[in-house]
Copies of this chain bind each other. A is one copy, B any other.
Amino acid sequence: MRDYVVDNIETRTREELFINMHPIQAAGRLTPEAMKALIAYGDGYSTCDWCRKPFRLDKIPRPPIDEFHAELAKFLGMDQARVVPGARRGFQAVASSIIEKGDSVVLSSLAHYTEFLAVEDANGVVKEIPLNEKNVITADATAQKIEDVKKESGKLPKLIMMDHIDYSFGNEHDVYGIAKIAKEYDIPFLYNGAYTIGVMPVDGRKIGADFLVGSGHKSFASPAPSGIVATKDEWAGKIFRTTQMVGDLTKRRFGIKEVEMLGCTLMGSNLIGMMASFPRIKERIKNWDEEVKKSNYFLGGFLKIEGNKVLSELPRKHTLTKVDTRGSFDKIARTHKRRGFFFSDELKDRGIVGEFPGATRIWKLNTYGLIWDQIRYLVNAFKEIAEKYGLDVSD
């Protein structure tokens, strides 16, 4: 029997009843404080109770939205920060401000699709940097791509975007080296921290980034859609430029409103949820090494199962990992009457969800936020399933 919120919307109990290893849900899971904020500030315009002149979200003092913006910028080693409805809106704001028709944007061969869309919406063209044999983007490869673009189009790219940790393998790419190359060529550099900001320490100044973009619902324990775009003062005037439009008849101006932000950005509990999670975020990034250790521990156990492979770089530097079970669980699936779903069934019977249901070939998982007991339980569950179906498990 299922319970329903209303009509045909069932109650969601995945986080209450299961260990969830879903690749993108792990670090976005709300903190208890964000959940409380959701209840208290659920009404959309709840943040507007104390909105006064100059009437812009990031200037509201109560709750202290203004302070949060200042602290957020500082936390990221940048001068200014804004909240936006998702990292994608951050990419869009930067691309829309910098890219003109036909301009090239150099990005990763593992760039997230939302970077493609942001460039396309700005009428730019994406140019992908090749991966090395370890599926990593290097500074050298970036420099080479810049040269290729220059040779081919006669112009330097207008922007470099780089995912510090990519969405596919969860590999770490050389953002420090790439930022240096960007500086050498005098090309602005956007750091995509969708998988880093909120889970590990990120210092934009140290990296040498011109723009940082983060995701609230991916890595900042915040409701969706939510995200962050931060920049240095020298770019703020461009990315956060205020409206210059004047009504031809009324002569109206809305001077303080920022064009790319479309005025106020993230009202209600999405923002207050980010603020409520922030103190815990500041703490949890200090435990990143421990999270990575758990990730590696789990995969160590996972690799004891005959035929299992890890496609991401090893040792892991992140908790998101791409695995290959074609040589193990997929062999079982080929003759099982439930096909790949046998594996989902077995996991679910053990209180585990988050794998892609039915997938036993190449898939992704994320151990972020699981406690050691859950990690060990997960390892045992995988081994148990393997043994049940006659796969060898080494000690």
A residues with CB within 8 A of B: 5-12, 14-15, 22, 24-25, 28-30, 33-49, 62-64, 67, 85-86, 88-89, 92, 96, 109, 113-114, 116-121, 125-130, 216-218, 222-226, 243-245, 247-250, 252, 254, 257, 259-260, 262-263, 265-270, 272-273, 275-276, 279
Q: Give which listed residue, B42, B49, B225, B263, contacts A34 with CB less than 8 A.
A: B42
Instruction: Tell whether, in the assembled complex, residue B263 and residue A223 are in contact, meaning their CB atoms are under 8 Å apart.
Output: no
Chain B residues, CB < 8 A from A275 = 9
The answer to whether B28 touches A40, judged by C-beta atoms less than 8 angstroms apart, is no
A38 touches B44 (CB 8 A): no
Q: How far is the CA of A43 from the CA of B12 in the complex (A)?
A: 10
Taking CB atoms, residues of chain B closer than 8 Å to A67 are 8
Contact A223 B270 (CB under 8 A): yes
Q: Which residues of B contact A117 (CB under 8 A)?
A: 243, 245, 254, 257, 259, 262-263
Starting from the known contacts A5-B40, A120-B245, 9 additional A-B residue pairs (CB-CB under 8 Å) come to A7-B279, A8-B67, A9-B63, A29-B43, A47-B224, A86-B262, A96-B121, A116-B245, A223-B269
Contact B45 A28 (CB under 8 A): yes
- Complex contact A22–B35 (CB within 8 A): no
Supposing A217-B268, A268-B223 touch, asked if A44 and B63 sit within 8 A by C-beta, the answer is no
Contact A262 B5, beta carbon cutoff 8 Å: no
Q: Residue A42 contacts which of B30, B249, B250 (CB distance < 8 angstroms)?
A: B30
Number of copies: 2
Cα distance, A85 to B37, chains bound together (Å): 19
In the A-B complex, the 7 residue pairs with the closest CB atoms: A44-B217, A44-B224, A224-B268, A85-B85, A224-B267, A128-B249, A6-B33
- Contacting A63 at CB < 8 Å: which of B8, B254, B260? B8
Q: Taking the nearest CB of chain B, how far is it from the CB of A60, in angstroms?
A: 12
Distance, CA A97 to CA B40, complexed state (A):
38
**Given known contacts A12-B40, A218-B44, is B6 in contact with A276 (CB within 8 Å)?**
yes
28 A-B contact pairs sorted by A residue (CB < 8 Å):
A5-B33, A5-B37, A5-B272, A9-B40, A12-B40, A14-B49, A24-B48, A28-B44, A30-B43, A34-B42, A35-B39, A38-B39, A38-B269, A42-B273, A43-B223, A44-B224, A44-B225, A45-B217, A45-B224, A85-B89, A88-B262, A96-B121, A120-B244, A120-B245, A120-B259, A127-B249, A224-B266, A270-B270
Q: Are A217 and B267 in contact (CB under 8 A)?
A: yes
Query: Is the CB–CB distance between B113 and A12 below 8 Å?
Result: no
CB distance from A297 to the nearest CB of B (A): 25
Query: Contacts of A28 on B, CB cut-off 8 Å?
Result: 43-45
A269 closest partner in B (C-beta): B223
Contacts of A92 in B (CB 8 A): 262
B226–A6 touching, CB < 8 Å: no
Q: Given the complex, which residues of B lie within 8 Å of A40, measured CB to CB?
A: 5, 9, 11-12
Contacts A33-B6, A248-B128; A46 near B269 (Cβ below 8 A): no
Contact A270 B39, CB 8 Å, known A8-B64, A243-B120 = no
